Amino acid sequence: MTDGKGADRPAKQLPTILDSRWRDPSDMFKIQELDLEFSNGERRTYQRMKTHGLGAVIIVPMKDDQTVLLAREYAAGLHHYEIGLPKGRREKDETVMQAAQREMKEEIGYGANELIDLASLSLAPGYMTHITHIVLARDLYPEKLEGDEPEELEIVPWPISDLLSLTAREDCTEGRTIAALYIARDYLQAEQSK
């Protein structure tokens, strides 16, 4: 295993799970307690949230080579309107690409002829099992599907080259959106430099 700087390191041994219990189940997640023993003999109890479902997708829809389409949507957690990328949970029997197409059509009224699975993000790997796939969407075409949003989302075109101004705004704070935009921008720049 490398640390990103080229130095090789031996892989760390994962702790042994001695026991696990479910606590406080809900519709969205379960809390699992893990009794662990580490390679040095130390024992600890950890808790992690196990989410239901297959994870999520976040889509970077490129209107053209320079413009990403964002959406302004109500964010109940912060009780304000947030500018971000279209995103949502994968449905049963749905691939990452199928989920990306559906979410784009529901949230911004576009599908894509080209989809690229760029990377996967965890939200808080220390205590959550949730994974979100970042999908780059190009060659867009208009197509609207009925979604579960209570109101139509406003589409906000933004130059992908100006992420610094976007992330300086008080209404663009969601970590997955910011990470996905920078990953997509770097992917596109590397592609253009070939």
- The arithmetic mean of pLDDT across residues 128-136, rounded, is 88
Region of poorest pLDDT, from 64-68, 69-73, 147-151: 147-151
Model pLDDT for residues 15-60, shown as the tens digit of each residue? 778 888 767 666 666 788 888 888 888 898 888 877 666 789 999 9
31: left (phi over 0), alpha (psi -120 to 50) or beta: beta
Domain boundary assignment for the chain: 16-51, 56-192
Which pLDDT band, with edges at 50, 70 and 90, does 121 fall under? very high
In the block, tokens 């295993």 appear at: 1
- Count the Cβ atoms, other than its own, within 10 Å of residue 74: 13
Look up the CATH superfamily of 56-192.
Answer: Nucleoside Triphosphate Pyrophosphohydrolase (3.90.79.10)
Tokens 């990403």 correspond to 68
With a CB cutoff of 8 Å and minimum separation 6, the contacts of 148 are 106
Q: How far is CA 73 from CA 85, 150, 151, 171, in A?
A: 10, 10, 9, 10
Task: Give tens-digit pLDDT for 133-186.
Answer: 999 999 999 999 998 888 888 999 999 999 999 999 999 999 999 999 999 999
DSSP letters, 123-166, are S-TTTB--EEEEEEEEEEEE-----S-SSPPEEEEEETT-HHHH
CA distance 85 to 65: 17
DSSP 57-73: EEEEEBSSSSEEEEEEE
Residue 4 has phi, psi (to 5 degrees) of 90, -15
